[in-house]
Structure 1
Amino acid sequence: MDNRPKIRAIDVLLFEGVNALDVAGPVQAFDAARFGDRAAYKLRYVSLDGTAVRASCGMLLGADGALRSCDPVHDLLVPGGDGIDDLLGNEAVLAAVRERLRPDTGARVISICSGALVLAEAGVLDGGPATTHWSREQDVRRFAQVDWDLDRLFVERTRVFTSAGVTTGIDLALSIIRSDCGNATALRVARELVVQLHRTGNQSQYAMHLAGQFTKENTLGQLIEAIITNPKQPWTLDRMARESVMNPRTLSRRFQDHLATSPAQFVERVRVDHARSLLEASLPAKIVAAEAGFGDLQRMRRAFQRRYGVSFAQHADAFQDQG
């Protein structure tokens, strides 16, 4: 008797102006998942009318068929891209999203990057958490019924999944593979793709990291790298000044020039972001405070209140409800 998990079918929506990486990243992860010599997922590529589409980078992508020919019991993956806005008024696409989530289908809907806007337009994100690419902050405001958290790399709900975009589509795919196929299969896929099985951090943390890497101030970039890599260290202004070979006043001016924040505010933000990532491991609050560099619970609680306007306990409860 074959006790291996059932093969899941995933329909991947293609459209004019789709982001090629939003498609290629997650589907490559799903394609690499195996039960021995058997594929764990069957992938099918569909466009609105069954014809080829051109991605935003100019790549021509072929389709296996039309969206209308899809079986509603198949999962549906909706990538993002420049062309996503044209789909928001397409009732056939919105109906296909809703159809997948009927109680009798058992299908799931997975969005990558701005593909979450289609899910929001279809109403399937109402009343719960979701994420999308940080650049869509203005666009998501009209979907007030959705609890948007644009700092998250991905959000998993019952049968509905959203991710921040591009490479985070791989993070989400690995998490789904882990749930569907087990840790060993997910780890094999991560090794094949040469990526982390689970990345800590969030969109703002990676944005800060990039700001540090691309600043013209070499020593400032090295300091930012050190803070993000090891937030537990006692990053006082004097220590940061010594690390960057600047005096405290010059260092503060450099932070304002490059990151529009003070050194102390930057350190606190890194620590809060790190604490949020540690919540995924369900660690006790005292350990989270220590590992994130706050030292004690009271300092961490005050930092969360300043950053999010809610207590750490409220934030932790909301985070756990998103699982």
Structure 2
Amino acid sequence: MQRRVVIAVFDGFQLLDLAGPADVFGTAGLLARDGGYQVEIAAVRPGPVSSAYGPAVTATTALDAVGGPLDTLLVVGGFAVTGPLDPLLVGGVAALAPAARRVASVCSGAFVLAAAGLLDGRRATTHWLAARDLAARHPGVTVDADRIYVEDGPVWTSAGVTAGIDLALALVARDHGHALARDVARGLVVYLHRAGGQSQFSTPMRARPPRREPLRELQAFIDANPAADLSVPGLARRAGMSERHFSRVFTAELGVPPGRYVERSRAEAARRLLETTGHPLDLVARECGLGSPETLYRVFRRQWRISPGDHRRRFQAGERRSGTHR
């Protein structure tokens, strides 16, 4: 049996907020053995709906004409909803929400959910650029500005743009299990299902973008090869600089010393392995370039304020509560 997903759009919506989740649900439908998803696009009025940068999609039905029940109501984002909101859009979402098993938003779509009263007393996230405005306009919402997505009861919200893909993968994992979500991610050639509690900013994004091409290449090498020789002497040789000059240039351009950047990158690699594999801690430590479980423990505690074992247990407990742990 297919799960019915209605995606609400409006003039000026962010195209990837729609395309990303729609492709996730569509790919899951091709791979799922126990039914996939039926995706419908709705708007205040049926017909062409222009995205923020020109391309239009066709809404097959009006929001007030969508008949229930439905599995998921998903509201996309766009700059158009960070200003005055169309009352017909807000009213349509508010009226349709009770017919849905769960409600979700991508990016600034959270403004529509908040205006519809669906986020009152709940935790939510949105694009980091809009988080402060969301909190100011809706003080009854606890805005967590540094999360990829947040689940609070039957309401899910996600950060900006590509985070909608992470949100949709999380919904697929909840419905069909993490194995299918991983297969969908591989099929779409995207990251293997980032956890919702992860920061909107990865290690490369938290650092300043380096101006010099050799440092950009070196940054990519560090993040792709955590088990390599990432010592200052090794990195300096790879960059063709003296150690002293390399440390000074790296820190000046990325805003963080090389050793600290490497530690953050390795900690993120460890977290991904803890969430997506059953590797013992000694193997996780080796594959992430941290050498031993003791070093893994110290680095993980320093970066995430939790032990590696506790993080894995919490992640697995979340899977068990959702009924998808295998």
TM superposition score normalised by structure 2: 0.74
* Alpha-carbon offset, residue 56 of structure 1: 0.6
* Alpha-carbon offset, residue 266 of structure 1: 0.8
Secondary structure of residue in 2 paired with 1:53: strand
2:264 maps to which of 269, 277, 281? 269
Secondary structure of residue in 2 paired with 1:12: strand
1:205 equivalent to 2:202? Answer yes
1:218 equivalent to 2:210? Answer no
Greater alpha carbon shift after TM alignment, 270-279 vs 298-307? 298-307
The 5 A counterparts of 1:170-249 are 170-181=165-176, 194-196=188-190, 198-199=192-193, 203-205=200-202, 207-208=204-205, 215-249=210-244
Q: Work out the number of aligned pairs and report it.
A: 309
For residue 3 of structure 1, what is the aligned residue in structure 2? none
- CA deviation profile, 1:126-160 (whole Å, cap 9, x unmatched): 555x54434345345546853726353x4556533
For residue 25 of structure 1, what is the aligned residue in structure 2? 20
Q: CA 1:161–1:225 in 2, change beyond 3 Å: closer, same or farther? A: same
1:66 maps to which of 53, 62, 67? 62
1:114 maps to which of 87, 108, 112? 108
Distance 1:245 1:315 in 2: 38
Aligned-residue sequence identity (percent) comes to 32
Distance 2:273 2:140 in 1: 28
For residue 96 of structure 1, what is the aligned residue in structure 2? 93
* Alpha-carbon offset, residue 57 of structure 1: 0.5
Task: Give, as a single letter, the amino acid of the residue that structure 2 aligns with 1:46.
Answer: A
Q: CA 1:221–1:80 in 2, change beyond 3 Å: closer, same or farther? A: same
Secondary structure of residue in 1 paired with 2:271: helix
Contact kept in structure 2, 1:255 and 1:261, CA below 8 Å: yes
For residue 8 of structure 1, what is the aligned residue in structure 2? 3
Distance 2:40 2:184 in 1: 20
Task: Give, as a single letter, the amino acid of the residue that structure 1 aligns with 2:233.
Answer: D
Contact kept in structure 2, 1:49 and 1:66, CA below 8 Å: yes
1:81 equivalent to 2:75? Answer no
Task: Give, as a single letter, the amino acid of the residue that structure 1 aligns with 2:238.
Answer: E
Distance 2:84 2:183 in 1: 35
* Alpha-carbon offset, residue 196 of structure 1: 4.1
Give the aligned CA root-mean-square deviation in angstroms. Answer: 4.0
Distance 1:184 1:301 in 2: 27
Greater alpha carbon shift after TM alignment, 71-80 vs 86-95? 86-95
Distance 2:274 2:154 in 1: 22
Contact kept in structure 2, 1:12 and 1:44, CA below 8 Å: yes
TM superposition score normalised by structure 1: 0.75
Task: Give, as a single letter, the amino acid of the residue that structure 2 aligns with 1:167.
Answer: T
- CA deviation profile, 1:163-189 (whole Å, cap 9, x unmatched): 333334334334434543567866775
In structure 1, the gaps of 5 or more residues are 1-5
Distance 1:36 1:262 in 2: 45
Task: Give, as a single letter, the amino acid of the residue that structure 2 aligns with 1:93.
Answer: V
Distance 1:229 1:312 in 2: 23
- CA deviation profile, 1:92-151 (whole Å, cap 9, x unmatched): 627835863x5xx561223222323444553538555x5443434534554685372635
Secondary structure of residue in 2 paired with 1:239: helix
Secondary structure of residue in 2 paired with 1:269: helix
Q: CA 1:224–1:21 in 2, change beyond 3 Å: closer, same or farther? A: same
